[in-house]
């Protein structure tokens, strides 16, 4: 979703801002722009990719050392040149970039129109920058104070960065509900929606908190609260992330790189946490809430999209190992439906980005009701990581491809360890069972390694799928959520309509869709409900559906029924989602490439959904 970058220092701002915007491309956007200040304001903005923006810059223009940039994901008004950020106030003094949505935009617009303000775009952002200009004139206050007073009258979510012609050595940044990170270099300062735009310049960062406003000048950064104007003691963090981890490393797409990283990312998820021989899971976050987990009568898992699918696998795992009932809910539904939350419920919020607006709001609701909230996040320092009572990082490393891959398997790995931990403290797992499962988790990375060797065979299968417009994914038990996830992967990057179903539900409706034009991807690993799935495959075969199966080695029955088979190593049924997901990720990837789709930045999608 929208991305912000800002620079103030002694270097030329333009290349820093352009590279920063390119690094933010993974978030998803439809237009981009920059403002540079060097005596006068130069603004470049347009619909489309950052490459197009680059072609607009006047090569002879002055080299500014102050500037802000933006990638926009349309909310108010269609993606076009005039709606792209930055936006300028009517007197030409203030320039703003903004992420989020101003909900009371219409009342602010009406007030400004009465005061003879006019607007060039359809955006709430242009209204906001003019409102700040108006407040500054009316109240005769400093820029910083005008921004603060204005934001106190704004309803909605925002991360903003503002520069001003009359304050050429200052950048203002403020946030409420949308992330913003400040980077501290050597006599230079950066602003980013995350740290990726300036990682090659500094790893020293300050995470701006909700309700905080920063004034950044060459003298340093001062932060104050927006509502009460109190000074804030900022904590400087040293990032561990390196540049290599956010680059493609020889792969054609980030998504493929991230699929291939899974043996390593899962190793990183379990490192120092899983001790099969000692019958132990060591996770600081779980220790912190162990008394809550001991008395918990219910677990509620919240998330969106792929994280919600990981939550469904978590439901099966936690119920199986600890016998505690689990409910899994879309964060977006939970936050608006007046849910029953008890103080001895433990809520698990799952989010790769840690910035998903619906998940964040659902967490706040759960906390208000007295529940203990545990976060499973990938991004260190993210809003969700900071908002939860305790948590576990997935340690999957930066996920840049919009379609989530390694984050999913890492989330499931954390949930499997959490389920083991709960099974142990609830006395529902024997030592032998605990050890068996823990040992098998340790083997998952090498088994994924062997599945990745099937890549070229999967690529061949993908060629036979590329011409279809619809598809069904079927799975049962632990692999029902994998069917949902497989369908989501295919639809989001290849634009082929895909539905995930529990295989036995097919008879209750979707079977009507099956004919030779309908490919069916069946997830039928050995164990669990394998025999039942064989019957389901037969039902599809009888109706001439094209069958692609994911199954164990040498399953002649499934093989003889299928048009194509992907054979994967065996594992425990409860851990099979960590393996069965991999061929589905590869299949979607290759189908999308075959169809000429933009794999890493699918249309209309954003990596980090910071608006509801
Ligand atoms: C799908 C995908 C999305 C995200 C969802 C939640 O591939 O990436 O469905 O899973 O937007 O995002 P996070 O996990 O960042 O909260």
Task: For residue 346, report the distance from its CA to the centre of ligand 1, in Å.
Answer: 22
* Architecture per CATH, 248-452: 3-Layer(aba) Sandwich (3.40)
What is the pLDDT, as a whole number, of residue 434? 97
Q: What's the length of the chain?
A: 612
Choosing from 1, 352, 410 the residue with most ligand 1 atoms within 8 A of its CB, the one to mutate for a pocket test is 352
Question: Mind listing the pLDDT tens digit for each residue in 281-333?
Answer: 999 999 999 999 999 999 999 999 999 999 999 999 999 999 999 999 999 99
Whether 412 shows a pLDDT value over 80: the answer reads yes
Q: Answer yes or no: is the C-beta of 404 below 6 A from any ligand 1 atom.
A: yes
Q: Which of 592, 583, 595, 608 is nearest to 493 (CA)?
A: 592
Q: Answer yes or no: is the C-beta of 320 below 6 A from any ligand 1 atom.
A: no
Question: Mind listing the pLDDT tens digit for each residue in 430-461?
Answer: 999 999 999 999 999 999 999 999 999 999 99
Q: What is the mean pLDDT of residues 230-235?
A: 95
Task: Give Cβ neighbours of residue 357 (< 8 Å, ≥ 6 apart).
Answer: 157, 177, 609, 610, 611, 612
Q: Whose CA is nearest to atom 9 of ligand 1?
A: 305
Q: Do domains 248-452 and 454-612 have the same CATH topology?
A: yes
Ligand 1 atom closest to Cα of 303?
A: 16
Q: How are strands ordered across the β-sheet holding 564-568?
A: 497-502, 470-475, 519-524, 546-552, 564-568
Provide the 8-state DSSP code for 137: H
Task: For residue 403, report the distance from its CA to the centre of ligand 1, in Å.
Answer: 7
* Distance (Å, whole) CA 3 – CA 405: 22
Secondary structure element (H or E) that encloses residue 341, with its range: none
Q: Answer yes or no: is the C-beta of 223 below 6 A from any ligand 1 atom.
A: no
Domain boundaries, the chain: 3-242, 248-452, 454-612
What is the pLDDT, as a whole number, of residue 76? 78
Q: What is the pTM of this model?
A: 0.82
What is the pLDDT, as a whole number, of residue 424? 96
Q: Answer yes or no: is the C-beta of 356 below 6 A from any ligand 1 atom.
A: yes
CB 571 within 8 A of CB 241: no
What is the pLDDT, as a whole number, of residue 485? 98
What is the pLDDT, as a whole number, of residue 60? 61
State the Cα angle at 540 between 534 and 546, rounded to 5°. Answer: 110
Q: What is the mean pLDDT of residues 599-610?
A: 85
Q: What is the mean pLDDT of residues 454-476?
A: 96
CATH fold of 3-242, please?
3.60.20
Q: Whose CA is nearest to atom 16 of ligand 1?
A: 351
What is the pLDDT, as a whole number, of residue 470? 95
Could you list the active site residues?
2, 607
What is the pLDDT, as a whole number, of residue 610? 78
What is the pLDDT, as a whole number, of residue 62? 63
State the maximum Cα–Cα separation within the chain, in Å, rounded to a whole number.
Answer: 81
Question: How confident is the prediction for the chain on average, in pLDDT?
Answer: 93
* Distance (Å, whole) CA 607 – CA 100: 14
Question: Mind listing the pLDDT tens digit for each residue in 484-513?
Answer: 999 999 999 999 999 999 998 988 988 888
Q: Which class for 437: exposed (0-12), middle (13-18), buried (19 or more C-beta within 10 A)?
A: buried
Q: Answer yes or no: is the C-beta of 492 below 6 A from any ligand 1 atom.
A: yes
**CATH, domain range 454-612:** 3.40.50.10490
Choosing from 259, 303, 307 the residue with most ligand 1 atoms within 8 A of its CB, the one to mutate for a pocket test is 307
Q: Is the peptide bond before 86 cis (omega within 30 degrees of 0)?
A: yes
Q: How confident is the model at residue 245 (pLDDT cuts 50, 70, 90)?
A: confident
Q: How confident is the model at residue 61 (pLDDT cuts 50, 70, 90)?
A: low
Collapsing DSSP to helix, strand or coil, 527 comes out as coil
Question: Mind listing the pLDDT tens digit for each residue in 518-541?
Answer: 999 999 998 878 888 888 888 888
What is the pLDDT, as a whole number, of residue 91? 97
Q: What token pair was written down for 261?
A: 């990283």
Whether 15 shows a pLDDT value over 90: the answer reads yes
Q: Answer yes or no: is the C-beta of 585 below 6 A from any ligand 1 atom.
A: no
């Amino acid at each position: 979703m929208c991305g912000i970058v800002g620079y103030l220092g002694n270097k030329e701002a333009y290349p820093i801002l352009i590279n920063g915007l390119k690094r933010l491309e993974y978030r998803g956007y439809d237009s981009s722009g920059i403002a540079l200040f060097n005596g006068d304001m130069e603004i470049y903005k347009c619909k489309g990719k950052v490459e197009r923006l680059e072609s607009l810059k006047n090569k002879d223009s002055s080299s500014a050392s102050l500037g802000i940039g933006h990638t926009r994901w349309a909310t108010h008004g269609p993606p076009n040149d005039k709606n792209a950020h930055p936006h300028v106030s009517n007197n030409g003094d203030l320039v703003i970039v903004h992420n989020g949505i101003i909900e009371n935009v219409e009342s602010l617009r009406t007030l400004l129109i009465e005061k003879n303000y006019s607007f060039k775009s359809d955006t709430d952002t242009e209204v906001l920058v003019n409102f700040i200009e108006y407040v500054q004139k009316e109240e005769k206050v400093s820029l910083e104070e005008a921004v603060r007073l204005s934001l106190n009258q704004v309803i909605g979510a925002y991360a903003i960065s503002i520069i001003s012609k009359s304050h050429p050595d200052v950048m203002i940044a403020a946030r409420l509900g949308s992330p913003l990170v400040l980077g501290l270099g050597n006599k230079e300062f950066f602003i980013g929606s995350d740290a990726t735009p300036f990682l090659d310049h500094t790893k020293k960062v300050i995470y701006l908190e909700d309700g905080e406003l920063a004034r950044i000048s060459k003298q340093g950064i001062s932060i104050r609260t927006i509502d009460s104007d109190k000074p804030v003691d900022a904590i400087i963090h040293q990032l561990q992330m390196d540049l290599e981890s956010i680059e493609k490393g020889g792969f054609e797409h980030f998504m493929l790189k991230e699929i291939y990283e899974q043996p390593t990312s899962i190793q990183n998820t379990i490192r120092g946490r899983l001790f099969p021989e000692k019958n132990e899971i060591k996770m600081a976050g779980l220790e912190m809430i162990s008394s809550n987990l001991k008395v918990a009568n219910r677990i509620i898992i919240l998330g969106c999209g792929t994280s919600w699918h990981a939550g469904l696998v978590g439901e099966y795992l936690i119920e199986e190992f600890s016998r505690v009932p689990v409910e899994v809910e879309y964060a977006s539904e939970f936050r608006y439906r007046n849910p029953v939350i008890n103080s001895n419920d433990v809520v698990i919020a799952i989010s790769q980005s840690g910035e998903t607006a619906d998940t964040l709001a659902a967490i706040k609701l759960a906390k208000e009701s007295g529940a203990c909230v545990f976060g499973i996040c990938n991004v260190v320092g993210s809003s969700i990581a900071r908002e939860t009572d305790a948590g576990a990082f997935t340690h999957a490393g930066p996920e840049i491809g919009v379609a989530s891959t390694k984050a999913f398997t890492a989330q499931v790995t954390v949930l499997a360890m959490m389920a083991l931990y709960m099974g142990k403290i609830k006395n529902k797992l024997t030592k032998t069972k605990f050890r068996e499962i823990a040992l098998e988790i340790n083997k998952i990375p090498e088994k994924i390694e062997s599945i990745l060797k099937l890549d070229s065979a999967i690529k061949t299968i993908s060629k036979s799928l590329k011409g279809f417009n619809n598809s069904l994914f079927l799975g049962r038990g632990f692999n029902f959520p994998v069917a949902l996830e497989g369908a989501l992967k295919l639809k989001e990057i290849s634009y082929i309509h895909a539905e995930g179903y529990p295989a036995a539900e097919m008879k209750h409706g979707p079977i009507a869709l099956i004919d030779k034009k309908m490919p069916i991807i069946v997830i039928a690993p050995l164990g669990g409900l394998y025999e039942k799935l064989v019957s389901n495959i037969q039902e599809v075969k009888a109706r001439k559906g094209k069958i692609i199966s994911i199954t164990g080695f040498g399953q002649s029955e499934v093989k003889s029924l299928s048009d194509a088979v992907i054979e994967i190593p065996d594992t425990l049924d409860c851990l099979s989602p960590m393996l069965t997901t991999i061929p589905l990720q590869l299949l979607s990837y290759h189908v999308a490439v075959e169809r000429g789709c933009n794999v890493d930045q699918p249309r209309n999608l954003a990596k980090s959904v910071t608006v509801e």
